[in-house]
Structure 1
C-alpha cells in the first residue's frame, strides 16, 4: 500500500506567510503530525509527500522518512505527481491532506481495508449536522437536501490504484480525487470518518488542532520511523526432547543428533532469524507471525517459517540485506556442515546472504550442561526496489 500526503498548499487563508504544512502546532509542523500517523498504517510500503515547489529544503530538514516530490499548480496536479512517484507494484493508494494532520492511524487502516474489500474508492465522512440550502445565483433557495443522506468528507481517501490512475488520465480537475473516480463511473463508498480528521484552513482552526495535539499525546509522542536500512536481533532456545525425534537445525536434518522440543520442528537457528527479520522490519515477532490463529503452522519446518516471513517482508515493502546467525550449544558440530547450512537458509530466504557460525558457553549454564540448543541472529532489511 502507498500513501500520498499532499502538502503543496501555501495556506493563503491561514495567513501564516509559509506553506501551511510547515505551520507548527504543539511544537511540531503539521506535516510531521500527518506523516507520523501515515507511517503507522498497517502494510505501508511507500510514503510520498508532495511539497510546494521551491520549498523542498525546508521539508528535507524534517527527516520525514518519505519520498519528496514537487507539487503542481492545482491540487489534482499535485496528487498526480505523487502517484507518478509510487512503485508500480503498489495496488492500494491512500491520498491524504497534510492539513488534516490529526486523522488517526486507525482511520487510514479502515479506509485501506474497505478498498481491499472491493471498492474503487473509499471516502471517510461525518454526518452533516446543519441544515443545508442549495442556492441559485440570484440568492433564491433552489432546494433543501435531506441532511440524513449528506456527509462532510475527509481524508485519507483510498483507491484501487488502477481506478485512480485511469481517473487522472483524463486531465480533469476536482477538489478531491473521489470525485474524479465518480466521474469515471467507479464504485465509490463512504465509511465513518473521525472527528480528529478536521482540516486546518483558517487561524481559528489552529486552536482546535493545538487541542488535538495535546489530548492525543499517545500518537503525537511516537517518533517518526527510522529510514531503511534497519537491523533487528532475534534469540531462540529449545530444550532437548525425551523421545527419538531427529534434530532440525539451520534448515538441515541431523540424523545422528538428539532432537529438540518445539511446537514446530524446533529449528532454533531458523526461529532466531525469523525474529531478527521481523524485528528489523517492525512487524512483531514469532508470536505475532505464527500465533494460535494459524494452526496450519503446527509442525512447520524452519524452511517453511523462513519462507513465510520472507513473504511478509515483501508484502510490507522490505527485502533482506543479509542475515547472520550463531548457534550456541555443545552439539552438533556445525563446522563440517556450515556451508551446507548457509546454502539451505539462503534458499529459504530467496537467495539472501546468510552466514552461520557456532560457539559454546564453555560448559556454563543450561546450554553448557547440554540441556538444549540456542541461537542468536541479526538481520538487515532494506526498502524493496
Structure 2
C-alpha cells in the first residue's frame, strides 16, 4: 500500500475564474501562477508523495514562463506520467476543502465525478468534504481557501 498526503492554499482573486477539481465555476478564483486549482494541486502533491517523488513546485516551478497560466489538469496529466500511474490502483481519495467562501455541498457531486474521471476510477472511491475555519485567519476572513488530500494506492 502507498499513502500520499497533499495540501494547497491560495488567496482569492477577483481577476481569475475559480477552478476546482478541473472544473470552472463562475465565482472569484485564486491567485497563482497556474489556474490556482487548490484541489488538483493538493491531489498532485499527494500522488507525488505516495511514490516518494518531490513536491509539485519541483516539477512546475513558478519562475518558468512556460508554466504561467497552466491548467492544473495538464499538471495532473504530467504527474500521472511521472509516477507511472498505469502501474498503480487507487483504493481511495479523500479530499477536504477548507473555506469560509466556497460551498462544497452544492458542488460535491460534480467535483467527485470530475476527480473520478481525471483518475479513471469509480466515483465511489472519491470523497470530498467541506469545512470552514470558524472565521479564523486568512481562510476565516474569506481571503483564502485550502485543500487537503489523502490518497491510498496499491501496485496494480
- TM-score band, normalised by the shorter chain? 0.7 to 0.9
- Give the structure 2 partner of residue 83 of structure 1: none
Question: Against the structure 1 CA distance between its residues 261 and 278, is the aligned structure 2 distance closer, same or farther, given a 3 Å change threshold?
Answer: same
Taking the TM superposition and a 5 Å limit, the aligned residue runs for 1:1-385 are: 229-241=1-13, 243-255=14-26, 257-291=27-61, 295-314=65-84, 317-351=87-121, 353-383=125-155, 385=156
- How far is the alpha carbon of 1:295 from its aligned partner? 4.8
- How far is the alpha carbon of 1:318 from its aligned partner? 3.3
- How far is the alpha carbon of 1:311 from its aligned partner? 2.0
Q: Which runs of 5+ in 2 are unaligned?
A: none
Q: Do the aligned partners of 2:4 and 2:46 also contact (CA within 8 Å) in 1?
A: yes
Q: TM-score, normalised by structure 2?
A: 0.88
Q: Do the aligned partners of 1:232 and 1:278 also contact (CA within 8 Å) in 2?
A: yes
Higher-strand-fraction structure: 2
Q: Deviations over 1:29-56 (max 9, x none)?
A: xxxxxxxxxxxxxxxxxxxxxxxxxxxx
Q: Do the aligned partners of 1:324 and 1:378 also contact (CA within 8 Å) in 2?
A: yes
Q: Which runs of 5+ in 1 are unaligned?
A: 1-228
The 1-side partners of 2:24 and 2:62 are apart by 26
| Count of aligned positions | 154
Q: CA RMSD in A?
A: 2.1
Q: TM-score, normalised by structure 1?
A: 0.38
Secondary structure of 1:363's counterpart equals coil
- How far is the alpha carbon of 1:326 from its aligned partner? 0.5
Secondary structure of 1:370's counterpart equals coil
